[in-house]
Chain A
């Protein structure tokens, strides 16, 4: 077993001449909540996209639990154990809440069920379908969405949509959960609730979490370790206290005097 759940070595990508991210080294231990922060355009989401296989990194390596995963497609990386949420919520809007979670569950090996098994309604189909529904209800119950399971996902209030997105990501049974600005557009009370949810996910699912966030109260509240990016490069790295008092970080956020 590798020491780190996620390890990147000199990860970098350039679009033409633009180096969107360079020499990003992340080392995330098991069960850690890790923050990735930085000013706008620093390359945080680009790093996420490289981790989840949307972009193929031009330099460097990514290891998930010691297994090299860079260069694989998005689906494969998800199967290997990285699930993510999006900065602008991406739910399956025209499907019911429970179906959103069921889609997340459908790739688990224990719910394997071939196309013809479903088409001709063989006994295995019903067994798998029932098991999936039970599991989905369990997940929705944890996130307090059980009552609304038959509503369309697009009709949920904003905070619940965020929760549903996390529930769907967890349904894929990941080793590492990536949250892209989970508190964007939330009021302080919702943010506080979200912090509880994230902590709860960590405890209950024994999850390792990497999150991008602009809301410093959330970052300071739950992150154990932080990496700061600026112009695609690592500016600082360390515990919350260290980083937030780092003069370079303050300069990057607030500018020179």
Chain B
């Protein structure tokens, strides 16, 4: 039964992280305690997290490798900006305008996800990766060469301002709700079943094509939403941003946060975005070339030492769940400890370990007490 409680805690911890960050930074923003650069960083974290979690749905839960995530983001960014421009004509509120274009931008990306997924998801593994990779490149070059989107000079958007991160964080919460509920339902079980053993999943009557397509479309939708947020964060939108490299960067976030872990994706995406952001702002001039070197070094250190035995025991000792339990339950219950599966009295030995231990302790106490009394 304990394991079920752990699972529940695991699901809520991701909401908790995002909600706390949202409230904290919103209060700071409203009281004017937030620097402009921090607000920018938070907006970057916002869309990175959305991208990482949605890609995790494809890579971690469905088990297919997609390298075209930046392509879906690109569709969302360009078309979302287009919608923003169209709607700002007759909707005065910029917020409403942004929300509508986020949804529409996402839907457009989802539509492309459907069109690409329909033929591509018949492929597997490396072949699917190649097709999605090609798709990403096609999309960004298409937008570069279409006459309405500013070509290589970039597509100028208005930009939303420094409160964009609040909307991005609310979008993360909405996405977490949708994605986690999906993963925890019978549909999520079907999706993980496909990842674990596709042949068995088919034989168990799971419509593999349907679920693959659904996951692909949902991931594309959220990538599109992230694209709209990105478009409102930077201007002009440059086609070169949505390159193959960026798809890989999202994949790195997913892998670093461990595949199939949503909380992991959130943390890894935030961490890598911070590293990137600080390297970008602090290494200027001649030092700018060092950025990729330092970034690569940090990645290597994290990957190599992230799973080191010493660190793992540290994590087990100081993970939030344990600290949480310590905070509320000051003294561990001795009776509960006895029930531990690995406790002495469960191990069949010739000598009764339990009796030996209790006898020793009692005799010590009885010796010490009279001494103290005499003094």
A residues bordering B, Cβ < 8 Å? 52, 74-75, 78-79, 83-84, 86, 90-95, 99, 102-104, 106-107, 111, 113, 115, 118-121, 125, 128-129, 132, 150, 168-169, 171-172
Contact = CB atoms under 8 A, between A and B. Distances in A.
28 contacts: A52-B203, A75-B202, A78-B202, A78-B205, A79-B205, A83-B203, A83-B205, A86-B200, A90-B197, A92-B193, A92-B196, A92-B201, A94-B196, A95-B192, A99-B192, A102-B186, A103-B190, A103-B201, A106-B206, A107-B204, A113-B185, A115-B187, A118-B182, A118-B186, A118-B187, A119-B182, A120-B178, A120-B181
B196 A95 contact: yes
B260 to A, nearest CB: 9
B178 A119 contact: yes
Contact of B196 (A93, A104, A168, A172): A93
Pairs A-B, 5 closest by C-beta atoms: A118-B185, A78-B205, A90-B200, A92-B196, A74-B202
**Taking each of B182, B197, B201, which has the highest tally of chain A beta carbons within 10 Å of its own beta carbon?**
B197
Interface residues of B, number: 27
B173 to A, nearest CB: 14
Contact of A111 (B4, B186, B196): B186
Given A92-B192, A103-B193, A119-B181, A128 B205 contact: no
A177 B192 CA distance: 24
A103 B189 contact: yes
A132 B186 CA distance: 9
Given A90-B199, A93-B196, A94-B192, A115 B214 contact: yes
A111 B258 CA distance: 32
Contacts of A103: 186, 189-190, 193, 201, 204, 206
Given A91-B200, A118-B186, A172 B205 contact: yes
A86 B199 CA distance: 10
B19 interface: no
Nearest to A128: B186
A99 B197 CA distance: 14
Contacts of B204: 78, 83, 103-104, 107, 168-169, 171-172
